[in-house]
Amino acid sequence: MAGLDSNTPIPTEITLHSSSKRLEIAFDDGSRFFLPFEFLRVYSPSAEVRGHGRGQETLQQGKRDVDIVNLVPVGNYAVKPEFSDGHDSGLYSWDYLYMLGCDQEALWADYLERLERAGGTRDPALVPPPAPRGGCGHHH
């Protein structure tokens, strides 16, 4: 798998904590991270969130209350969370999870700053509905 090499720490323990909405992950180098479900959702490595290139990212809003309803192992290199909002296309490789853990504080601050600049919200009840697809939305 791209990005994995002999220097990539390997998880020794992965635990979903539903009540606190955090994923606990311990690595074989002694690192242990507690990653909030919302954080994992807004930093999903999926094309839906990250786009297909720089500048194509989609700012995620209204994910404060998201849960992980299932965590599917993918080979010996990743997990695929299934989120309560239906999102399930992100493959979180060990190196990506490790990076999220190491950089969590800076990444979260960056997310909150981007959300504020966009006038966005973490509250699902305040997210505007998606625009209608196709046509201008007017009835003629």
Tally the domains of the chain: 1
Q: Which residues pair with 34 in a beta bridge?
A: 24
pTM of the model: 0.87
Beta bridge partners of 22: 17, 36
d(CA 24, CA 140): 54
Dump strand ranges (E) for 1-140: 11-17, 22-27, 32-36, 68-74, 78-83, 92-93
Residue pLDDT, tens place only, 65-117: 999 999 999 999 999 999 999 999 999 999 999 999 999 999 999 999 999 99
Structure tokens at 80: 């695929």
Query: Tokens representing 81?
Result: 């969370």
pLDDT digits (tens, 9 = 90+) for 24-33: 999 999 999 9
Residue labelled with tokens 């998201």:
66
Q: Is residue 87 part of a domain?
A: yes
Is residue 3 situated within a structural domain? no
Q: Is residue 137 part of a domain?
A: no
- The answer as to whether 77 is a domain residue is yes
5 belongs to a structural domain: no
Q: Measure the N-to-C terminal CA separation of the chain; round to a whole number of Å.
A: 52
Instruction: Give the range of the structural domain holding residue 88, as residue numbers without chain letter.
Output: 11-45+58-125
Task: Report yes or no on 78 lying in a domain.
Answer: yes
- pLDDT for residue 109: 97
The CATH number of whichever domain residue 121 belongs to comes to 3.30.2020.30
Residue 112 in tokens: 């909150």
